[in-house]
Amino acid sequence: MKEFDSSTIEAMAKVPRLNLINSVTGYKSANLIGTISSDNILNIAIFSSVTHLGSNPPMLGFMIRPMPTAPKDTYKNIKEQHYFTVNSITSSMVTDAHHTSANYPPERSEFESTNLIPEFLDDLKVPFVKGSPVRLLCKYLNEYEIVENGCIHLIASIKKVYVEDELMQDDFSVRLDLSEIVTINGIDGYALPQLINRFGYAHPDQPTKSIL
């Protein structure tokens, strides 16, 4: 088994260190976050840090990396417009989704440089991604600086949920694997998970019961 202590990790070159630390904690969510600027420039960017924060009220969060100079487009747009979308990524979308991580200037929309197509639902200004099986409309609530590394944890409420019919289960859970929704391994790897089981609420000294 390979072993890396903190001094070894600190001495590593940037890219190997990124690859190691970003992959050892496991698979991460893969989402495209859609925003619009005050100049009506559409922005779409891939994020691997969107996480569930609560269901009552419905909230999520994601990380904004350190911004040494001007704010990144996604963060700037959310602060100005307050609303944004979160869109799941399918296996057929991964090449274009990954390309949104390229550093385009603010006046150029990533939609123009990929095959991703913006879609507007319910007369909303912020763009969703056409063909994404699970889409969320979110509203900025708050943010917290992670002082140890300069990142920002952005907190948002979930205002609307759009889910393709075939993914919805009778108990209102969503079967992501039925639409080949991907996850991210590390910083540049995409994986296709498959549901292997679901279990009922666990009680002490009682057998685990499958509910799939």
Task: Give the pLDDT score at 69.
Answer: 53
Fold of domain 27-191: Pnp Oxidase; Chain A (2.30.110)
Residue-by-residue pLDDT tens, the chain, 212 positions: 999 999 999 999 999 999 999 999 999 999 999 999 999 999 999 999 999 999 999 999 999 987 655 568 999 999 999 999 999 999 999 999 999 999 999 899 999 999 999 999 999 999 999 999 999 999 999 999 999 988 999 999 999 999 999 999 999 999 999 999 999 999 999 999 999 999 999 999 999 999 98
Task: Give the pLDDT score at 78.
Answer: 97
Task: Give the pLDDT score at 66.
Answer: 74
Task: Give the pLDDT score at 85.
Answer: 98
Task: Give the pLDDT score at 92.
Answer: 97
Q: What is the pTM of this model?
A: 0.93
Is residue 165 classed exposed, middle or buried when 0-12, 13-18 and 19+ CB atoms within 10 A define those classes? exposed
- Which residues, other chains included, contact 128 with Cβ-Cβ below 8 Å and sequence gap of 6+? 34, 85, 87, 118, 119, 120, 121, 135, 162
Residue 74: C-alpha distances to residues 37, 39, 57, 82, 101 (Å)? 9, 14, 24, 11, 11
Domain ranges of the chain: 27-191
Task: Give the pLDDT score at 32.
Answer: 98
